[in-house]
Each structure stands twice: as structure tokens, then as C-alpha cells.
Amino acid sequence: MSQTFTTSRILHFGDCDISGTAYFPSYLNILNGVNEEFFGHLGFPWNEIIWKERWGTPTVHLACDFSKPSLFGDELVFTLNVVKLGRSSVTLAHSIDCGDEHRWNSTQVLAASDLVKHTSMPWPDAVREALAAYL
């Protein structure tokens, strides 16, 4: 049985436009923070893999669908599942809710990338095993 990663974020003043509605570029920044938290939860904090091991997880594809606006002060719950695990990529499905209302969802592909050679690389075995638990 696969695992699901869940975390929450409060929508801050700086995440919103003048009307108090979430500004979509802020959503993407928040989503990136959720991914960073997920990899830390797996045991691979980005500060270590980027600075010490010299590999990263850039986004190579991103699709989003927005269902209902979110407002300044809302608590958004992010649910992340791995839907596909390749040799050097992973497809993540994000579902974002506020209370019992669905707000938006995203499908995102991250690639394992060698930061010295600037090329894709196979997932390290331990990372692949950790990601597979969420598949």
C-alpha cells in the first residue's frame, strides 16, 4: 500500500493580490516548499543534496488546475502522491484543499539532476526506494 504525504500552509498576506486572493505565482512558490519538505521527510533535505551531494530536483513539467480562490488567512492542506517513478524522474500529484473545499491541484514532474554536469542522472538507490513507498 502506498503512502501519502500531507502538510499544510497558511496563506500569508504576501501570497495574495490587493483583493486578498491568492496570487498564483505564490502558489507555485508554496508548492516548491511542499516538495522541499517532502524530500526532507524522506531523509534527503535539499540543503544537503544540493550543497554536499551536488544533485537537485528541478521541475521539468508542471500543470495546474484552479477550482476555487483561496484567501489571505486560509489554511491550505497539501496532499502529495507519487504517480510515476522513472529512472531519473518522478511525477507528483498534488491536491490542495481548504477545509472541505478543493482549491486546486497540480501534476508535476521532477528530474534528478547532476548539478556539476547539468544533466539528468538516475535516482540514487536510497532515494528511489523512499519515493517508491509513495507510488
Angle between helices 125-132 and 24-42 (to 10 degrees): 110
Domain 5-132 grouped into CATH 3.20.10.10: no
Strand order in the sheet with 113-114: 55-56, 113-114, 119-120
Q: pLDDT for 34-92, tens place per residue?
A: 999 999 999 999 999 999 999 999 999 999 999 999 999 999 999 999 999 999 999 99
d(CA 133, CA 135): 6
**H runs (alpha helix) in 1-135:** 24-42, 46-51, 125-132
Average pLDDT over residues 97-113: 98
This prediction has a pTM of: 0.95
Cα–Cα dist 45/123, whole Å: 15
The grid coordinates of residue 30 equal 508554496
**What does the alpha-carbon distance between residue 118 and residue 77 come to, in Å, rounded to a whole number?**
34
Percent of the chain having pLDDT more than 70?
Answer: 99
CA pair distance 15, 37, nearest whole angstrom:
19
